[in-house]
């Protein structure tokens, strides 16, 4: 098992140009309290992004995550990484996406920074509005906010920090009828 603090496995490569998110009021779990951490700058390449999502999923499973908890994190991180590469960096190969993933049996922390212009999440149309509900696009950000315990963009909108607690009671009410 990789879940004991003493056996924690931390990976990092490339130089992180920004410290963990401070502008959000979000609790940033210290690395030594987590069973696995990865901090890496990846190229704006969806295949590389997906490889890192799979790494995160593997480590979550190793930390006993399963079912809806695991699905929710996969959905949120999938949308976030794709948004950072496609909409943030516009697949520009000269730009990188910084990933900070931290996993413990109780908590998953994800911080994603792109080098794009940013955006105002509040400017997105409401995809559940009758007028737009059958139109493509605009669901990723909504899913991120709905499926994670907390999800905060920085002011510029090029950085998303999110936390999912395992067995978070906030999600029990949506169990299938």
Site string for other proteins, 119-148 (x = CB under 8 A): --------xx----xxxxx-xx-xx--xx-
Which of 46, 170 has the CB closer to other proteins?
A: 46
- Rounded to an integer, what distance in angstroms lies between the CA atom of residue 160 and that of residue 98? 11
Taking the complex as a whole, the smallest distance from the CB of residue 86 to other proteins amounts, in Å, to 8
Which of 62, 68 has the CB closer to other proteins?
A: 68
| Residue 84: alpha-carbon gap to chain centroid | 10
Q: C-alpha angle with apex 161: 160 to 164, nearest 5 degrees? A: 125
With binding defined as CB under 8 A, does residue 170 bind other proteins? no
Grouping H, G, I as helix, E, B as strand and the rest as coil, residue 10 is strand
| Residues contacting residue 130 through CB under 8 Å, at least 6 positions apart | none
Name the one range near other proteins by CB under 8 A: 4-12, 26-34, 65-73, 92-100: 65-73
CB 165 within 8 A of CB 119: no
Taking the complex as a whole, the smallest distance from the CB of residue 163 to other proteins amounts, in Å, to 18
Sign of the C-alpha dihedral computed for residues 17, 23, 26 and 28 taken in this order: positive
- Rounded to an integer, what distance in angstroms lies between the CA atom of residue 92 and that of residue 166? 35
Can you name the residues that pair with 97 across neighbouring β-strands? 42
Q: Which of 5, 13, 46, 170 binds other proteins (CB under 8 A)?
A: 46
CB 65 within 8 A of CB 56: no
Q: Which of 31, 82, 118, 154 binds other proteins (CB under 8 A)?
A: 82
With binding defined as CB under 8 A, does residue 90 bind other proteins? no
With binding defined as CB under 8 A, does residue 176 bind other proteins? yes
Name the one range near other proteins by CB under 8 A: 69-77, 94-102, 117-125, 158-166: 69-77
- Tokens representing residue 49 in the block: 């992004």
Give the footprint of other proteins on this chain (CB under 8 A): 46-47, 50, 67-68, 71-72, 74-75, 78-79, 82, 127-128, 133-137, 139-140, 142-143, 146-147, 174, 176
């Amino acid at each position: 098992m990789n879940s004991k603090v003493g056996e924690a496995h931390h990976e990092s490569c490339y130089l992180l140009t920004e410290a963990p998110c401070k502008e959000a009021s979000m609790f940033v779990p210290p690395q030594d309290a987590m069973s696995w951490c990865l901090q890496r700058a990846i190229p704006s390449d969806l295949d590389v992004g997906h490889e890192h999502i799979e790494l995160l999923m593997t480590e979550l499973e190793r930390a006993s995550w399963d079912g809806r908890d695991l699905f929710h994190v996969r959905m949120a991180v999938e949308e976030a990484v794709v948004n950072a590469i496609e909409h943030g960096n516009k697949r520009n190969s000269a730009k990188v996406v910084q990933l900070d993933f931290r996993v413990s049996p109780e908590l998953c922390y994800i911080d994603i920074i792109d080098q794009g212009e940013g955006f105002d999440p509040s400017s997105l149309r409401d995809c559940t509005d009758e007028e737009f509900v059958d139109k493509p696009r605009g669901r990723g950000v909504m899913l991120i906010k709905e499926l994670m315990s907390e999800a905060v963009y920085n002011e510029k909108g090029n950085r998303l920090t999110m936390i999912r607690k395992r067995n978070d009671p906030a999600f029990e009410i949506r169990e299938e009828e």
